[in-house]
Structure 1
């Protein structure tokens, strides 16, 4: 009898291996999608924070007026960084971008001084930028405020669409992950249904039967998550070695949060599915197991 029990347990072990493998692959897929989502959001943030507003100042204004505008812009919550461009610097930048010697033309013209600043990503939308422009333009020393209106408008529409698509894909993948992990665990527990029923028939309590299997489920979920994390991290390293520009988007904090989420998801779904399957087979009649 003892030998038969051991043989049954041995027959159950491969199912745990297959469940670990199946959960690992599903979590790996979820991890890759999560990493792509993080990178896309960081890329969107990068483009938003590259939008620059130019505050052109009137000629021959006192330094105190310019300082007041600088201090105002620097103190605002929407300002990411700023710089002051005097006439000489503006002249050099014009010649550099033009690619030709415009010295004679520039000497007979007035390139205005300006205060250029970029915005934090949360403030980059047409309505907010228009408000910011109106407030700054009301300063007496300000001649004009310019920013790429068409670029901001298109950027806002395109990024909203990208965010919606990514959110939809993430939700779809999350649902598929839950369903696939649940089915994988149910198949694994199906091969152990006779062990569960036998333990019940010899007088074992529901908690006594479920506890070791729940603990095994927690361990299996953690193992699957760790393997999936290692695979995702390997893919990240390989991708960044082939595409060095991805390193600029690398965010260790978000990556750690993603890995923690994989561990929680792996353990939670595996435990829930295992416990539910154990209770299901405990409620079934012996003839229904065949």
Structure 2
């Protein structure tokens, strides 16, 4: 009879551990997906920002050698992603192609100017920083005029801030849900051991001694859940890279490292905290309260 009861208890305990691992894996998978969205949205936003250019129109009396030196100096600036020189001839050909006819035949001369398109690094694509750069370039002796799409930069900055704010709110919400779900699963597994906890306490075991094996077991379960979550994320990333190759999921090692590190760290922190407070609760209960 005792053998059957022990077997039943082992099966019940194993079932409890499996449910904890599955719960942790599902929650961490959800956290990993959210982290992937947040990190990739930042990369996409930066990619869009770095497509914004400031065009510097060069004065007619500036020589090609001076333009070359000026462009090389721009490339050394911390705000420059790349700087492309466009001659007045190239600009005329491009404009003629856009309007569908050669406008030089009517004018007899090329009214356009040589120019340099400066593509800024993402951190510098804000209304304030671009305006400051405009003032700086306007004072340059080689520059006749400065042009950029001001409404686009304002709209881009506003929308990115709005999206980042809501992503932060959603991330916080899902992180809270993750902690609550994992905490509930771990508390249920510890609840089954509440009488053992109280027995050990009654024979003189310290709280730290009683708590330690529960914490280590939960951390192991958390790591197992993290491994399962990472396997699921790996499959997801593989198919995303296959169907959306432009985002370079598999080649973005920094993002992948952040996701792996974040999932493992989340598993460690959440399981440790949840187990600590769950065991603390049962350690503080009186004997007659264990039955409720």
The answer to whether TM tops 0.5 is yes
Inter-partner Cα distance in structure 1 for 2:227 and 2:83: 44
Q: Show the counterpart of 2:19.
A: 18
Shift, 1:120, TM fit: 0.7
Structure 1's 211 and 141: CA in aligned 2 closer, same or farther, altered over 3 A? closer
When structure 1 is superposed on structure 2, of 102-111 and 85-94 the one drifting more is: 102-111
Q: Please state if 1:70 is matched with 2:71.
A: yes
Q: Show the counterpart of 1:88.
A: 89
Q: Deviations over 1:39-58 (max 9, x none)?
A: 11111101111101111112
Shift, 1:10, TM fit: 4.2
Structure 1's 215 and 77: CA in aligned 2 closer, same or farther, altered over 3 A? same
CA contact (8 A) 1:43 1:249 kept: no
Q: Deviations over 1:180-227 (max 9, x none)?
A: 211121122112223333444455554443322221111111111111
Shift, 1:8, TM fit: 3.6
Inter-partner Cα distance in structure 2 for 1:121 and 1:248: 20
Inter-partner Cα distance in structure 1 for 2:238 and 2:183: 30
CA contact (8 A) 1:178 1:269 kept: yes
RMSD (Å) for aligned C-alpha atoms: 2.4
Inter-partner Cα distance in structure 1 for 2:43 and 2:286: 55
Task: Classify the secondary structure of the residue corresponding to 2:248.
Answer: helix
Structure 1's 52 and 249: CA in aligned 2 closer, same or farther, altered over 3 A? farther
Q: Show the counterpart of 1:227.
A: 228
Q: TM-score, length-normalised on structure 2?
A: 0.89
Alignment of 1:45-194 (within 5 A): 45-102=46-103, 104-105=105-106, 108-194=109-195
Paired residues in the alignment total 290
Task: Classify the secondary structure of the residue corresponding to 2:61.
Answer: coil
Shift, 1:254, TM fit: 2.1
Q: Show the counterpart of 2:28.
A: 27
Shift, 1:266, TM fit: 0.8
Inter-partner Cα distance in structure 2 for 1:51 and 1:154: 12
Inter-partner Cα distance in structure 1 for 2:205 and 2:7: 17
Give the gaps of 5 or more residues in structure 2: none
Q: Show the counterpart of 2:45.
A: 44
Task: Classify the secondary structure of the residue corresponding to 1:110.
Answer: coil
Give the gaps of 5 or more residues in structure 1: none
